[in-house]
Each structure stands twice: as C-alpha cells, then as structure tokens.
Structure 1
Amino acid sequence: MNRDFKKILMGASVVTVLPGAAMADFFKDSSANLDTKNYYFNRDYREAAKQSKRDEWAQGFTFNFISGYTPGTVGFGLDVTGMLGVKLDSSPDRSGTGLLPKGSDGRAADEYSKLGVAGKVRISKTELRVGEQVPKLPVLQPNTSRLFPQTFQGATVSSRDISNLTLGLGQFDRMRDRESTDRETMSMTAQNGAYKAATSNQFRYAGGDYNLLPDLQLSYYYGELERLYQQHFFGLKHAFKFGPGTVRSELRYWDADKDGAGLAGKVDNRALSTRFSYEWAGHNFGVGYQKQYGDTPFPYVDGANTYLFTEYQLVNFSQTNERAWHARYEYDFAALGVPGLTFGMRYAQGWGIETTKLVGEQGREWERDLDIGYVVQSGLVKGLSLRWRNAQLNSSYANDINENRFIVGYTWALW
C-alpha cells in the first residue's frame, strides 16, 4: 500500500475514535480550498551548446485541508495537501523547467501527483507538527517558485508562550523536490563544483526571534546538515517613521563550516546581506550590499533557496568572495485607485567572483528582474491572479539567460 495512503488512513482512524464534540471542533474550525495554477515557463540560455532553451506549459491543482484542534488542554489536528500536475506542452529538447518530472529520455511526464500529511498537537501557544512541511527559516528556505513547493518530512516544534519571543526547533530526514514525487535524502548545492556530491538524512535547526522593541527584532538560528555543514544565523530588523513614510533596515549574517566528517568537502563561509528601504504612498525603494567571506561559497540545501537579499529569479550572488550591490523598486497601484495591480523591478550586480570555472581571474554578473501582477477585485472571477515575470542574466563565467514566466492562478474556498 502507498505510504501516503497509509498516512491518511492512520489520520482518519485517529479522527473516528474521537468523541462527537471533539470531532465537531475538529471540523468547525477547519478550512479547505482548491488552488489552481496555470504556468508557462520559457528560459533562453542563448550561448548554451547542448540545450539552448527550456520551454514548458503545465497546469497545477492543489487541494489543502487544514483542520481545527480538538478541545481540551491538549488539542489534536491534521493537515492534508494533495497535488496534481498536468502537462500541457513540452518536448525532450526543451524539458527540465522544474514544472514537470523528466525521464531519462528527456521526456516530461504527462501528469504526476503527490500527497502531504502532517499531524499536529497544540498545548497553549506551543505546537508540534509531524509529517510533510514547508518550513520558512533563515537556515532553510524551500523553493516555492514552480507549480508546487519543495517539501520536507520530519518533526518541528514552535512556541509563542513567552511574550515577544518566538522559538522553534526541528529535524527533517527526507525532502521532496518541487517537481518530484519521491522523498529523498538531502545534499548541498554544488555551487559550481565547490562542494562534493554527498547526502545526509538529518537536517536539524533551532532558534528564535525576539521583539526587543515594537519596531526592533533580533534573531538567531542554528542549522546543521549532518556530516556536511553547520551554519549560524544572526539577524536584526528595525523600522521607524520618517516624514510621510517608513524607513526599514535589516541585517542578515551567517557563519558556516563543515559538520562532522565534512563529506562534501571544506566549508568556510561567512556572509553579510543588508537592505535599507523607504515606503511611502504605494512606493517602496530599497538598496543593499552583500559580501561573501571565506574560502568557499554560501552553503545551502540542494534544491532550496537562500535567505539572502539577492535571492533573485535566476541567481543568488553567493559565490566565493563575491560582493554585490542590489536595488529594487515596487509600486502598489492601489495608491492611484487601481487596487490589485502591482509592479516590481530588481537589479543586482556582483563582482570579485572566484569559482572552479575561472582560472587566474575574477568573475562578474548582473541580473535584472521585472514583475507585474494583477488580482481581479470583483465580479465572477474575483480573486483571479495574473502575473508576468521576466529576468535577464549576464555573466562572465556562465551562460547569459533571458527568462519569462506567465502565471494564472485562482483559489476556490471550499469551506
């Protein structure tokens, strides 16, 4: 019997033995929706000799059920997510966009599905979750940029019982990539060959956020991919009113080295990422500086994203000794009486790059991203979202890229 269905049956058996009143609360506070996403992806590699582009079109359906908690000091709940991806257009010479699984012959699957189940237990403001999860941590950022998110399987605990303090810890033993149906062990992103291929079946983390003042937050997190690397994160967020708008500043700093046997090789990285922004009347202007220190690039779990401010659509400016400045501008047209329409533009430039692809020289790269979105505000298709994302990359050590993504989404609230 499929493991996912075993989990559902186990969860269902727990629910059926609960008293009627408990089941009433379990379902009374529950919610369910069906999220649909129509996704067209086109990436032109321009200079690539083997595959010059990746071009696919797919439809995704995601069913989400989030239960309430049974009454009493200890409350129990169950969350279920079912996903179905359907191929609309693809071919072997342009597959591999991350929307659809790809076979050894290069052909994309006609369809694929997966199921995620997580049990949860709540005591006061402390919650234990066991099962499939999408954590959002400074030391682990799942990739959510395609039809479905990258997920991790394990157990986590989060607590808000202490005023102004949020604590969390957990352990994951398997991950499932965004277009994969298989749960696999974890590895490090190779970073242009800087790290060796090696796997681990344990990722652990612990940390928290403390609001020292209403507009000042301090953070610390520790992450460890067993036998590969360990990483400390320190963060600071601050905001204050200035004139008609608000100034926001944020500093993020990581310190990483190898863990245990260091099966992926030497890890020696420290990273500083900053951003300063000003928000006023729908406008948001932001600038920042970032620097990688040490003998190796930024380490992170393969398939995931980083928490760097330069985590852009195509690259994240995290190579050995890379320095980068970045800027962004965002505008919400609600300020002009057009709610639902938004525009964003980002630019980053990196230099001083050292990789195994460069001998006796330092590399440079820049990326420019555009993002235009609209959410229908009324009528029969209220909530329908339309989005176009364009990115352009110019690099001295990798292929130049031009990429377009068109996404149409709609969510039906079932109850």
Structure 2
Amino acid sequence: MKLTYGIILPLYILSMPVMANSFIDDSQGSLMSRNYYFDREYTDPQKIGRAKDWTQGFILNLKSGYTEGKVGLGLDLQALTAIKIIGDSDYIASGLIPTDKITRERADTASELGITGKIKFEDSELKIGTVMPFNPIISSSRSRLLPQTFRGTLFESKDIDNIELYAGYIDKVNHRDSTNYETMSITTSNGRFNAAQADNLSFLGSKYSPSKDTQYSLYYGIIDDLYAQAAFTFNNTYMLTENTRLLSDLRFWNSNEHGRALAGKIDNTLLTGNFGFNYNNHLLTLSTMQNFGDTAHPYLSGGEVQLFVEGWGVDFLNPKEKVYSIRYDYNFQDYVPGLRAAIRYIKGTNIDLPQLGGNNLKEDSKAFELQYNFQQSYLKGLSFRTRYMTSDNNFAKNTTFKPANETRINIDYTWKF
C-alpha cells in the first residue's frame, strides 16, 4: 500500500469551502527560535574525534480550525529552518544540521515544509501528510535542533469516555538532520541487527484512564518485514499527603521478527519500572530496565524509545542488559521560580556482545541538567537549558557507543499567536 500524498493533499485543500469561520477563527500558530550547542568529546584511546556544532533553528507551526458541518476539514503547516553558526568539517557530525557523509561539510542553511490535512468527526480526527507520532511503537525524536517527522496517516478518537483509540500508517521518515523523506530502517548500533529497511509501519493503540491519576495503554505495531512489537504501559500517582506523592511508571515491550525478517533474528522482552517519591520540591526516582531474550530491543534508526532511563549517547538496550538508575530532581520555585535541576546515575551490566568483548560487559552514565524558564511577562516563552553527561563502558574499540563527555546547551523562545 502506497499513500499518494501528492494527489490527496492538493485535492483535499481545493475541496475546502472558501468561507469557513471556524477554519479561520479557531486557527492558532507558534514560532519557536531554538539555539543549540552540541559538543561530544570521545575519550577512548583511539582519539576518534569530537562531534561539535552550534546552530540556530526556527520551527513555525500553523494550525487551522475546522470548516463548518458534521465533518470538519482543516490544514496544518510546519516550516523548519536550520542555520549553521559554527560547524567545522574537522569534527564529526552532531545530527543538528545536514552534513556530507564523506567531506563532513555542513550545510549553511536547510529548510523544509510539512503539510498535514486533517478531518474531524465529533471527537475523532484523521491526519494525512506530515505527522509526528509519539507512542511506544514509533516516536518522533525531538532531541536535536529540529524534530524528526514522518509521512503517513494518524487516527485518534476520544469518543468513548475514559478511552482513547489510536491507529497509524507510516511509509517515510525525515530525519532530524535531513530535509528529504527516506525509507525507514532499523537501528544497528553495536552490530545488533542486519542493516535493513522497512517499506512501511502500521500500529494500533489504546489508552484507558479510570481516573485522573491512573492510566493504562496497549499498542501493537508491525514494521514490515523487520519486526512486530507489542507494548503495554501503566502510570499511577498516589497521594500520601497534600505535599507527598508516590509515582509509578511501568512499561513492557515484546518484539519478534516479522515477515522476511530482513534484519535477522529478533527476540526481546523489555521490562522497565520507574518509582518516584515526590515531596514538595524534591523528586527522587529509582528505575530499572531488564532485557530478556536472545537479542537487543529493536527500534527505528534516528529515533529513541520512550524510556525514563535515557542516556543520550547511550541507549542501554543491548542483549540481556540489566539497568539500574537513580535520579534526583529539585524545583527552586520557592527561591527562583522557573529554575529546575536534575542529577542522575545509570548503570548497565550483564551485557551480551561477544563480537564486542564478551558476555558480561558493563556501561554507565552520569548526567547533570539545569533548566530555567523565564517568568517575567515580557520574557514569557524564553527558556535556557544546559546538560552535561559522561559515559563509559568496557566494550571493544569498534563499538557504536564509545566513552564520551558531552555538553548540550539550548536557548529557546516561543511566540504564540
């Protein structure tokens, strides 16, 4: 099945009534200015280099309302622009801006336009075109200058009380440092799977919220001829006192090869648990991830998995890996409103990578984060965020994830209109 978006969208736009009050009156827009500095220095003895870039990005989102009638039609536009401030070919690409794979030359500027048609009936909505899914099966990555986008169709329904239904079909991806749609592929980090591509991805999902403090979700997806994946999540907040909460976040994935199994054998069950204790401005979170089965957890190239335990340059998803993490967050709202800080430590053991050094390998990551959202009315929408991370492992030198020290700095400003 191939979606002929080049035909559908122009016909869709021409079919809209010229005069539609709700279409105009309910429209909204935003423009985000994002300044992003990225510096990852690899620390292994081979001195393979450094990934370093400084860029400026602009993300314009224009969302229409819907035309009048039982079935409403709408249109969303997204314009993305990346501008190089500093980007030296002596450094490895950072993923912030398009880079020539051979010469390492950065593009001076790069822009793209996304168009999404939408159809609404009661509390159900269908989107066609540029989409940004965010669920346990496929997630649009926002971890660089510009977001990762996809080409496809998404369906969402909230017509049933306390239940949300989702479905999607995706056939192309536009990566964070690209302006072109490409075929999706599986992540092959650390030689986990064969390099292989998928013509399409489809998924079904649902969320059930029996109360405002509890939510369950269930998803199932097929990445054509690569793997099939089921995912279950559970979130709960329990109030001990007015100022004290217990937080629970449990997630489960089961993945196996699908169809022609172009990526090779896939056999993984991933269990994650995050347990938080929140008292006033303090939040302490203990987490674990357990990988079972013969292979690593599969996911699509250029993105991430929806995990609480995330290590930026390290994914902690190797075969048989056992992961433990502690994180502490503090909100300075009583002293400096808008200021937050976090510190964390992640340890992975029992890693099975015979081709990279053995079957009892280990890795770890330490990180610190400071974020400030300006509260003054004339600076509302301006935020500053800095992150510093160190990672280490005892893998062989040809590993994908190498020991490194990393700094990221973001300055974001969002105008809403």
Which category describes the TM-score, using the shorter chain as reference length?
over 0.9
8 Å Cα contact 1:192-1:356 kept in structure 2: no
Q: Is the aligned partner of 1:53 residue 2:56?
A: no
Deviation digits for residues 277-320 of structure 1 (CA, Å, limit 9, x no counterpart): 01221221110211000000000111110123322222121100
Matches of 1:51 and 1:115, distance apart in 2: 36
Residues 1:43 and 2:44 are matched in the alignment: no
Offset, 1:69: 0.9
Would you say the 8 A contact 1:11–1:78 is kept in 2?
A: no
Contact 2:381 2:415 in 1 (8 A): no
Q: What is aligned with 2:408?
A: 405
Alignment counterpart, residue 357 of structure 1, candidates 355, 378, 381? 355
| Counterpart AA for 1:391 | M
Q: Secondary structure at 1:402's aligned position in 2?
A: strand
- Distance of 1:212 and 1:377 partners within structure 2: 35
CA–CA separation in structure 1 for the residues paired with 2:267 and 2:261:
11
1:209 aligns with 2:207: yes
**Partner-residue secondary structure (3-state), 1:26:** helix
2:192 counterpart SS class: coil
> What residue is the counterpart of 2:367 in the other structure?
369
Counterpart-to-counterpart distance in 2, 1:101 and 1:111: 9
Q: Could you tell me whether the CA contact under 8 Å between 2:9 and 2:117 is conserved in 1?
A: no
Correspondence for 1:344 among 339, 342, 345: 342
Which amino acid in the other structure matches residue 42 of structure 2? Answer: Y
In structure 2, how many angstroms separate the alpha carbons of the residues matched to 1:204 and 1:161? 22
Distance (whole Å) between structure 1 residues aligned to residue 30 and residue 211 of structure 2: 37
Aligned twin of 1:25: 22
1:224 aligns to 2:225 (yes or no): no
Q: Given the alignment of the two structures, is residue 70 of structure 1 paired with residue 59 of structure 2, yes or no?
A: no
Distance 1:51 1:101, change over 3 A: farther
* Residue pair 2:9, 2:129 contacting (<8 A) in 1 also: no
1:152 aligns with 2:150: yes
| Structure-2 change in CA distance of 1:122 and 1:347 (3 Å) | same
Q: Deviations over 1:340-396 (max 9, x none)?
A: 111111211000001243344421011112110112211543322111111110111
Give unpaired runs (5+ residues) of structure 2: none
Compared CA separation, residues 303 and 356, structure 1 to 2 (3 A) = farther
SS at match of 1:284: strand
Task: Measure the CA separation in 2 of the matches of 1:141 and 1:253.
Answer: 16
State TM-score, norm by structure 2. 0.93
- Please give the secondary structure, in 2, of the residue aligned with 1:92: coil
Closer, same or farther: CA 45–359 of 1 in aligned 2, 3 Å: closer
Structure 1 counterpart SS, 2:195: coil
Quote the residue 2:14 is aligned against. Answer: 13
Question: Partners of 1:168 and 1:380 in 2: how far apart?
Answer: 39
Report deviation, 1:332.
1.5
1:152-191 matches, within 5 Å, as 152-191=150-189
Give the structure 2 partner of residue 197 of structure 1: 195
Contact 1:7–1:117 (8 Å) recurs in 2? no
C-alpha deviation, 1:227, in angstroms = 0.2
Question: Aligned residues: percent identity?
Answer: 34
2:259 corresponding residue in structure 1 = 260
Corresponding position of 1:279: 278
Q: Aligned equivalents of 2:295 and 2:173: distance in 1?
A: 25
Q: Does 1:126 align with 2:127?
A: no
1:146-198 deviation digits (Å, cap 9, x = unpaired): 11111111011111111110110110000010010110111110131121011
Give the equivalent residue in structure 2 for 1:388. 386
| Contact 1:245–1:278, Cα closer than 8 Å, also in 2 | yes
Corresponding position of 1:237: 235
Q: Distance in 2 between matches of 1:182 and 1:160?
A: 33
Corresponding pairs, count: 407
Q: CA deviation at 1:4?
A: 10
Assess if the C-alpha contact under 8 Å between 1:4 and 1:115 holds in 2. no
Rate the CA distance shift 1:274–1:63 in 2: closer, same or farther, 3 A: same
* Larger deviation, residues 226-235 vs 397-406: 397-406
Shift of 1:109: 0.6
AA matched with 1:79: D
Per mean C-alpha deviation after superposition, the further-off stretch among 357-366 and 401-410 is: 357-366
8 Å CA contact retained: 2:367, 2:390: yes
Distance 1:202 1:6 in 2: 19
Relative to structure 1, the CA distance from residue 130 to residue 9 in structure 2 (aligned partners, 3 Å threshold; closer, same or farther) is: closer
1:102 matched residue in structure 2: 99
Residues of 2 paired with 1:93 and 1:257: CA distance?
Answer: 40
Q: Which segment is superposed worse, 264-273 or 95-104?
A: 95-104
What 5-or-longer segments of structure 1 have no aligned partner? none
Structure 1 396/118 Cα, relative in aligned 2: closer, same or farther at 3 Å?
A: same
CA contact (8 A) 2:49 2:92 kept: no
